[in-house]
Amino acid sequence: MATTGKTSVTVWVREGTRKSLTEALDKQKTRKIVLSSSDRWQTLGLPRNEAVQVRARWKAEVQRMRQAGELLDVVDALAVFGITQELEARGWATRRFKQAPAEARLPGRWPGSRDGGYKESIHLQLPSKTAARVLNACWATSAPYIARLRDWRDRNPGIVVPRGQLDADELTGPLAEYERLAARVTTVGEIYRAGLRRGIRKAESLELLYAK
């Protein structure tokens, strides 16, 4: 996976997420318009060279606010901010991980994945460096349990695993072992969904903060 440029990803999410996302983005877009109306960003009547400089400064300021989580008016900025927050919460933002092997990118779900059953999808264009860190971190922390889940499959070929998450404390035998191992697998989709939730909450909190 390249570490420069953009990486396209599709995130499957819970029903209602798209609505919450759209509402949060719309309010942030309105806030951007209000911010841009400040006298410092007006170019009417300015000489052309000065007007170009003002527009460049405004563009840079928008980029700065997006990266700082002060303005989340586009889905990719909202997602990157939230994903970064999720990585930091897990202690993965600065930790070094080896590059995930080719098997991490094979089609299909990882053993232990809980990514099924989502009805909505959101398309993102993420910085490739961010996408690579998420994949590398998920694989590095999940690979030992994925290997053990494959062994579990070999030892229990006739057992059907429920799609939903079960309480391992209420289970016995092979299914209890499966649940304990599956709980240690973190998929890329899990991180992206958590990032979107964090980004939406941040956008909503910004609206409340600046509405006062």
Confidence at residue 116, expressed as pLDDT on a 0 to 100 scale = 81
Confidence at residue 31, expressed as pLDDT on a 0 to 100 scale = 94
What's the average model confidence in pLDDT over 190-208?
95
CA distance 114 to 194: 13
pLDDT one-digit tens code per residue, 12-51: 999 999 999 999 999 999 999 999 999 999 999 999 999 9
Q: How confident is the model at residue 164 (pLDDT cuts 50, 70, 90)?
A: low
Q: How confident is the model at residue 2 (pLDDT cuts 50, 70, 90)?
A: very low
Q: How confident is the model at residue 1 (pLDDT cuts 50, 70, 90)?
A: very low
pLDDT at position 144 over 60: yes
Non-local (6+) Cβ contacts of 89 within 8 A are none
pLDDT one-digit tens code per residue, 44-82: 999 999 999 999 999 999 999 999 999 999 999 999 999
Confidence at residue 208, expressed as pLDDT on a 0 to 100 scale = 74
pTM of the complete model beyond 0.85: yes
Q: What is the 3-class SS of the chain, one letter each residue?
A: CCCCCEEEEEEEECCCHHHHHHHHHHHHHHHHHHHHCCHHHCCCCCCHHHHHHHHHHHHHHHHHHHHHCCCCCCHHHHHHHHHHHHHHHHCCCCCCCCCCCHHHHCCCCCCCCCCCCCCEEEEEEEEHHHHHHHHHHHHHHHHHHHHHHHHHHHHCCCCCCCCCCCCHHHCCHHHHHHHHHHCCCCCHHHHHHHHHHHHHHHHHHHHHHHHC
- In the chain, the percentage of residues whose pLDDT exceeds 90 is 81
First to last CA, the chain: 44
CA dihedral 18→19→20→24, nearest 10 degrees, is 100
CA distance 21 to 75: 8
Confidence at residue 4, expressed as pLDDT on a 0 to 100 scale = 63
pLDDT one-digit tens code per residue, 171-183: 778 888 998 999 9
Average pLDDT, the chain: 92
Confidence at residue 114, expressed as pLDDT on a 0 to 100 scale = 84
pLDDT one-digit tens code per residue, 87-137: 999 999 999 999 999 999 998 899 999 888 899 999 999 999 999 999 999
